[in-house]
Amino acid sequence: MARVTLKKVTKKFKEVVAVDNISIDIEDKEFAVLVGPSGCGKSTTLRAIAGLEEVTSGEIYIAERLVNDIPPKDRDIAMVFQNYALYPHMDVYNNMAFGLKLRKLPKEEIDQRVQEAAEILGIEKLLKRRPKELSGGQRQRVAVGRAIVRKPKVFLFDEPLSNLDAKLRVAMRAEISKLHDRLQATIIYVTHDQIEAMTMASRIFILNEGRLQQAGPPLEVYKAPANLFVAGFIGSPAMNFIPSRLLKKDSSYFIDAESFLVKLPSDFYPSISSYEGKEVIFGVRPEDFHDKQFYPEGTADNTIKAKIEVIEPLGDEVLFYLLCGEHSLIAKLDSRTNKRVGEEIEVVLELPKTHLFDPKSEKTIV
């Protein structure tokens, strides 16, 4: 069992609080992704788990063992660094064998483990090469291989794909996911890329300003963000936030954004009744807009009119930058939409999928 548990972990650098009272419980064999913008404390959290940073307060457990005072080498972890951190004076074989040699494993076993890892990663032919003779993707594989051969309880990945080009990144993403299935180990993966987080994680932990914002399976976080930050961070392009007012008319609730008025679904009512007449932030994901031409459910209560400012065709879908009154919106619409820049378009909002946020606490209302 290799659970990783953080209990009220705080890390301060002088006056700066990098990690602020974070409690996380990562299950055995879980693929946990810590995600957040730069400076959110995700890397510091990972380094604290690795033992490369001492925590200011709080407790870290790996496999039910308190590791606060245990040096990295005795924590039974392996780490893959952003810049790979391969030893430049050693060939690929020795880079991978280094940790095993330190543990004084018999030579045959080292050979066998390195071979095995090299086969998994497809780098058998590179074993005699030095890191500087490898491409970025190959270096990345060696760095992963160096972690695999150790057969640790927990793998730590610190933004391992951020130095690769886009195509390679997508390929490596799938490979690391496959690797996780194969190794059946606990993986803690840090990234600033929400797509990486969404595609790889069994559970996402979203951090901002050193605090844990939300934890949960990717789709759950996507569908039910806990607050404004999570709603804006997960999803691409980001959710549209429209400052507006909640109105009650004929026992129905409406969002009044001045330039448009839409009627909220009735299952929202229990949670929103206390906000009647108050300011709220109305959140709509770009993918929850639809062109009225191709969306039969459009009615007067869920359709808005907007002017097209920019069109970005993505192939299967098209991004429309819209202006509705004073609100700039991004909508991801059907590629059949034949409107041009400057024209007016009618878009339907898929209201059951929208969100309301409290503008003060930034918490999700519904």
Partner 1 sequence: MRTHWFTPWLYVIPALATLVFFLIYPSFNTLVISFFGPQSEKLVGFANYIYCFTNEIMLSAFRNNLLWVALFVPLTVFLGLILAVILDRVRYESLVKSIIFMPMAISFVGAGVIWKFVYSYRPTGSAQIGILNAFLTFLGRQPIPWLIERPWINNICLIIVGIWIWTGFCLVVLSASYKGIPRELLEAARVDGANEYRIFWKITLPLMKPTVAVVATTMFINVLKVFDIVYVMTNGAFSTEVIANRMYKEMFIFRNYGRASAIASLLLLFIIPMIIINVQRFREQEAFR
217/33 Cα distance (integer angstroms):
10
CB atoms within 10 A of CB 29: 16
Summarize as ranges the residues that interact with partner 1 (CB under 8 A).
50-52, 71-73, 77-79, 81-83, 85-89, 98-99, 102-103, 146, 150, 156
Cis ω before 218 (30° cut-off from 0): no
Report, in Å, the least distance between residue 73 CB and partner 1. 4
Whose Cβ is closer to partner 1: residue 140's or residue 194's? 140
User: Cβ(258)–Cβ(242) under 8 Å?
Assistant: no
Instruction: Between 88 and 296, name the residue whose CB sits nearer to partner 1.
Output: 88
Q: How far is the CB of 88 from partner 1 (least distance, A)?
A: 7
CB of 152 to partner 1, least distance (A): 9
Minimum separation from the CB atom of position 179 to partner 1 (A) = 18
Nearer to partner 1, 72 or 137 (CB): 72
Angle between helices 136-148 and 107-121 (to 10 degrees): 140
**Smallest distance from partner 1 to CB 164, Å:** 17
Distances (CA, A) of 351 to 175, 180, 215, 255, 289: 37, 37, 25, 10, 9
Nearer to partner 1, 95 or 227 (CB): 95
Residue reference for tokens 């339907």: 348
d(CA 2, CA 28): 5
* Minimum separation from the CB atom of position 50 to partner 1 (A): 6
Of residues 86 and 349, the one with the C-beta less far from partner 1: 86
For residue 57, the minimal CB distance to partner 1 (Å) is 22
C-beta closer to partner 1: residue 12 or 339: 12
What stretches of the chain adopt beta strand conformation (E)?
Answer: 4-13, 16-26, 31-35, 57-62, 65-66, 77-80, 154-158, 186-191, 203-208, 211-216, 240-249, 252-256, 261-263, 279-284, 289-291, 303-313, 317-324, 327-334, 344-349, 355-357
Cβ pair 3, 27 in contact under 8 A: yes
Question: For residues 102 and 219, which CB has a smaller minimum distance to partner 1 in the complex?
Answer: 102
Does residue 269 come out as left (phi exceeding 0), alpha (psi in the -120 to 50 range) or beta? alpha
Tally of CA atoms within 13 A in the half-sphere of 231 that contains its CB: 26
Structure tokens at 132: 């500087």
What is the rounded CA–CA span in Å between residue 206 and residue 221?
9
Q: Using the minimum distance from each CB to partner 1, give the nearer residue, 102 or 174.
A: 102
Give the nearest distance from C-beta 246 to partner 1 in angstroms. 51
